[in-house]
Structure 1
Amino acid sequence: MGTSKGLQSEGSEFTSTSRTTSFSAPMPAVPARLVWQINFRYVLKPGEYLHDIGESETLTSFTRRVCSMTVYGLFFDYATVISKDVKDSSIVCEQHGALNRYKDIRCLDKTRVIVPHTSGMHDYINANYVDGFREEKKFILTQSPMENTVESFWAMIYQENVVIIVAMTSLYRAKTFLYVPIKRSTTAIFGPYSIKFCGSQLIREAYEASVLKLRKGNGQERKILHICFYTWHEKGTPERPTEMLYLVSDINYNRKLFIDEAKKSGWLKDECSPVVVHCSTGAGRSGTLAVLDICCRKMDYTEKVPHGDILVDVRDTVLRVRTQRDKAVMKPEQYLLLHLLMIEYALRQKYYGDIDFIDLSNYTGAI
């Protein structure tokens, strides 16, 4: 096993990139990529995507259904959805219990990220690829790093050419191992990987965006954006739910910026750069973020189709994401949040021709 040295003083002055990096901006289109596997529940033909425009509700139908329901009705709907889970195998996960933060959060074999450890003893990390809308492997959902998994975490970041890490939890929680440097002029070293802090910005008092420089041994430095969304605690929903929509927009915008810069720097050859998302489990808040992005992208895509309906389907999207990351969207409150955010997003984007029928009084005070 490699040595984890933790934080060290770097001595030199840091350079803030806040003047040249825009952390808040409109959402760009996301390029599509080829389908990468056959999902055991959803058999995909060549060229098909797990998340596409088929089998979806129209926005109007979706909204009318949500307005006619109650909190408890949506909670019951959530119970129905998760009852349809297919228990795919997680054999490798079960063989490495000490590397799992929680015993009941399985890492599915068919989508797990294979990361060879420097010891040569295993290639396991509790992390799964999750497809985006018309984009394979857009996300990697993973548990919060632990002291005995942090080197594998950074090996995964390096191996998968990641440019954005999103922490859907505070870095200062008792259960959180500090895997990134957070102070000026400090570098964290885990095995052959060094991570240097280069500056940060506080965005709308909802999350902190930090620029890091990652290096393996004496190799080329890679610039990475680390986002810490600290206003959503382990229990409940975000302090300001609407910030989730801004967060998704900011992630997509900055992902494109950082990919373009990485290609210019020469260490990234194409657009293949998953967004790594973690909370404590890598399933609840992380899964909610992935579903939110997929549903927003579907609405954006179908809005541009001539003479077509705007489509959205939270229920089906949650079910599909759970085939790739076990227990994604873990709580009924997260399921409820997704439904209400879809309506807010459609209102914000002016996707409704008529809004007089929208009445969400059944959900007053729900989140």
Structure 2
Amino acid sequence: VGIAQSKNAALAIENKKKNRDSNVLPYDASRVKLSVCGSPFYDYINASYVPGYKSREEFIATQCPLPTTVDEFWRMIWEKNIYTIVMLNKSLCNFLQVMKCEKYWPSGTNNYHNISVTTTSETELENWIIRDFEIKNVKTEETRNICQFHFTEWPDYGIPTATEVLIEFRGLVRKHMDHSGVATGVFIAIDHLIFQIERDSMVDVYGIVTDMQMHRPLMVQTEEQYSYLHQCAYDIIRSRTGTNMDLIYQNAAAPQIYENTEYLKQQ
């Protein structure tokens, strides 16, 4: 879905080195643009606006920073007034010890061009880590407080073994977002479908995923992930038995989980 859209900025020779993966490039129509200072290519970062339940630009989905793009990452955090960062990589390296994400936050204080970042606290829990940052614009002296929610139960390949842990994690993140001020595919889709269930008494997983993929490639990458979203919706609906059983399920004739994937057959 959406793959025919133009990606001219991402494919520009000056910007190619800023992309981690050649198959996940932001579309021109929905890419995040940074302020321009000097070169017109200074505005590029591999990041896209993604719609949520509340607005068409509720989330920004971005690649894991490269060593050469950490400065742009923090510039985006500052310029777009982001107060909530969601990290879904379990670790910085995969099982082959290949770096898949640069450690973009400091142990103490570090300057990323004009943005100073200080890690003020780190709380490690069973399924996630919560880090608090104080960031400062060294030019204006303005400071802000940012919270990072690092989900550590997503395997390198596949999906979490249960739905409850990610649903609980989403609730924690949403609580912070609603009190302060904004995350990738499956997580954003879960946030959206929970709002649909709670507020509209319906759920349209297909519509949510299609809308997201019109804004950024590979937002939900596999059939396994797509099925997992249906399982999440099913578990949420089931947990509300007696209150929302008249819910309209728009992907099938009845509110039942989609089960004919090879993954689920093997299970």
Q: Residue 68 of structure 2 aligns with which residue?
A: 148
Matching of residue 97 in structure 1 with residue 19 in structure 2:
no
Q: CA deviation at 1:256?
A: 2.2
Q: Deviations over 1:41-89 (max 9, x none)?
A: xxxxxxxxxxxxxxxxxxxxxxxxxxxxxxxxxxxxxxxxxxx545111
The total of aligned residue pairs comes to 248
Does the 8 A contact of 1:114 with 1:124 survive in 2? yes
Counterpart Cα distance in 1 of 2:233 and 2:258: 16
Larger CA Rg, structure 1 vs 2: 1
**3-state DSSP class of the match of 1:318?**
helix
What is the distance in 2 between the residues matched to 1:361 and 1:153? 37
CA distance 1:199–1:336, change in 2 (3 Å): same
Cα separation, 1, equivalents of 2:191 and 2:256: 24
- The separation in 1 between residues aligned to 2:236 and 2:8, in whole angstroms, is 39
Unaligned runs of 5+ in 2: 94-98, 247-253
SS at match of 2:179: helix
Please give the alpha-carbon distance, in whole angstroms, between the structure 2 residues aligned to 1:251 and 1:341.
Answer: 17
User: Of 192, 203, 228, which residue of structure 2 is paired with 1:312?
Assistant: 203
Amino acid at match of 1:94: L
CA distance in 2, matches of 1:216, 1:361: 48
Q: Determine helix, strand or coil for the equivalent of 1:295.
A: helix
2:251 maps to none
C-alpha distance in structure 2 between counterparts of 1:106 and 1:362, whole Å: 31
1:342 corresponding residue in structure 2 = 233
Structure 1 length-normalised TM: 0.63
The alpha-carbon distance between structure 1 residues 150 and 245, as it changes in their structure 2 partners (threshold 3 A), is: same
User: What is the aligned partner in structure 1 of residue 152 from structure 2?
Assistant: 230
Q: Residue 50 of structure 2 aligns to a residue in which SS?
A: strand
SS at 1:109 equivalent: coil
CA distance in 2, matches of 1:361, 1:155: 41
Deviation of 1:118 after TM superposition, in Å, equals 5.5
Q: Structure 2 counterpart of 1:98, which letter?
A: K
**Match of 1:301?**
199
Q: Is the 8 A contact 2:90 2:156 kept in 1?
A: no
Q: Residue 202 of structure 1: which of 99, 124, 139 is its match?
A: 124
Q: So what's the TM-score if we normalise by structure 2? A: 0.85
The answer to whether 1:258 aligns with 2:180 is yes
What SS does structure 2 have at the residue aligned with 1:189? strand
**Equivalent of 2:223 in 324, 332, 342:** 332
Q: Which of 100, 104, 107 in structure 2 is aligned with 1:179?
A: 104
Cross-structure match for 1:159: 79
1:119, CA displacement in angstroms? 5.7
Query: Counterpart of 1:161 in 2: which secondary structure?
Result: coil
CA spacing shift, 1:120–1:362, aligned 2, 3 Å: closer
Shift of 1:233: 2.2
Runs of 4+ in 1 over 4 A off after TM superposition: 357-365
- 1:1-367 aligned at under 5 Å gives the runs 84-85=1-2, 87-95=4-12, 96-116=15-35, 120-122=39-41, 123-173=43-93, 174-181=99-106, 183=107, 186-203=108-125, 205-218=126-139, 219-259=141-181, 275=182, 277=183, 286-302=184-200, 310-350=201-241, 351-353=243-245, 366=264
Seen in structure 2, the aligned counterparts of structure 1 residues 171 and 222 have a Cα distance that, compared at 3 Å, is farther
CA distance in 2: counterparts of 1:248 and 1:361, whole angstroms: 22
Go from structure 1 to structure 2 and tell me whether the alpha carbon gap of 1:189 and 1:344 turns closer, same or farther (over 3 Å shift).
same
- d(CA) in 2 for partners of 1:171 and 1:362? 30
User: 1:328-367, CA deviations, whole angstroms, 9 ceiling, x for partnerless residues?
Assistant: 101111101000000111122334449xx97769589838
8 A Cα contact 2:109 2:119, kept in partner = yes
Q: 1 or 2 for the larger relative contact order (CA 8 Å, sep ≥6)? A: 1
Alignment root-mean-square deviation, CA: 2.5
Percent of aligned positions that are identical:
23
Letter in 2 for 1:299: I
Letter in 2 for 1:335: Y
In 1: Cα distance, 2:21 partner to 2:8 partner: 15
